[in-house]
């Protein structure tokens, strides 16, 4: 089970604030589901008590129907909804002074990236970003619906023809992070991957200062 908790495409091995928020939400839901499963298992075991053991048990149907059936379910769902809404709000691309903006255009079967900080420069299947700074990725598609996803940096967002969706990503440290298209789009789907290269300040300055070929 621990094999899936790390690696280039693991959502529970975050390398940025957005991915960390998503991973925390996942763990909260996982632990909550485990506790509810344990409660249900205890109730099932309790149902198999012998008649003598059950003689002194309280048989108030209102407690079971209203208490566990309604109040408990509503409380759990309301708590998860509230926590999910707060987490989703934190992931929104709010205005900030140091945000870097890049454009990502998907097609069958490649990604094309362009940069506001380096006009005219385009890279294919390799997205360059600065480490430690928020990056807004404006995502669209040239043909069919695709999906932009870098599991260790942020959640996924669809690339829709004729529409632009903005996803904020951020890498804690310089390095290379794997991305993929999380939307089936034809026979080349398995090869529709890309990489994100996060640069330190000197590396990002050098990248943006290069003359466009």
pLDDT tens by residue, 20-78:
988 888 888 888 888 888 887 877 777 676 555 554 555 556 666 677 777 888 888 88
pLDDT, position 69: 72
Give the pLDDT mean for 168-174.
Answer: 93
Q: What is the pTM of this model?
A: 0.77
Q: Which of 68-72, 104-108, 200-204, 209-213 has the lowest mean pLDDT?
A: 209-213
Q: How confident is the model at residue 167 (pLDDT cuts 50, 70, 90)?
A: very high
Domain total in the chain? 2
Q: How many degrees, rounded to 5, is the angle at CA 158 between CA 154 and CA 159?
A: 115
Print the domain residue range for 196. 100-209
Listed residues 55, 90, 125: the one ending a domain? 90
Do 142 and 57 belong to one domain?
no
Q: What share of the chain is helix, strand, coil (3-state, %, to 5)?
A: 40, 30, 35
Do 112 and 56 belong to one domain?
no
pLDDT, position 106: 93
* 95 falls within a domain: no
pLDDT, position 13: 85
Give the pLDDT mean for 181-186.
Answer: 81
pLDDT, position 51: 55
Q: Tell me if residue 123 falls in helix, strand or coil.
A: strand
Give the pLDDT mean for 144-172.
Answer: 93
Q: Tell me if residue 186 falls in helix, strand or coil.
A: coil
* 61 falls within a domain: yes
Do 78 and 18 belong to one domain?
yes
């Amino acid at each position: 089970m621990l094999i899936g908790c790390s690696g280039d495409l693991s959502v529970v091995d975050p390398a940025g604030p957005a991915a960390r928020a998503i991973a925390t939400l996942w763990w909260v839901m996982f632990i909550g589901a485990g506790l509810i499963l344990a409660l249900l298992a205890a109730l099932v075991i309790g149902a198999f008590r012998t008649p003598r053991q059950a003689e002194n048990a309280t048989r108030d149907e209102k407690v079971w129907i209203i208490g566990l059936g309604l109040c408990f379910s509503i409380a759990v769902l309301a708590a998860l909804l509230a926590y999910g809404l707060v987490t989703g709000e934190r992931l929104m691309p709010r205005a900030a002074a140091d945000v870097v903006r890049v454009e990502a255009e998907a097609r069958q079967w490649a990604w094309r990236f362009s940069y506001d900080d380096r006009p005219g420069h385009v890279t294919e299947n390799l997205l360059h970003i600065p480490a430690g700074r928020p990056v807004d990725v404006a995502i669209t598609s040239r043909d069919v619906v695709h999906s932009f996803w870098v599991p260790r940096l942020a959640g996924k967002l669809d690339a829709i023809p004729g529409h632009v969706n903005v996803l904020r990503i951020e890498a804690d440290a310089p390095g290379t992070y794997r991305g993929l298209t999380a939307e089936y789009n034809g026979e080349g789907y398995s090869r529709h991957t890309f990489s994100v290269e996060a640069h330190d300040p000197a590396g990002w300055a050098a990248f943006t200062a290069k003359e466009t070929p």
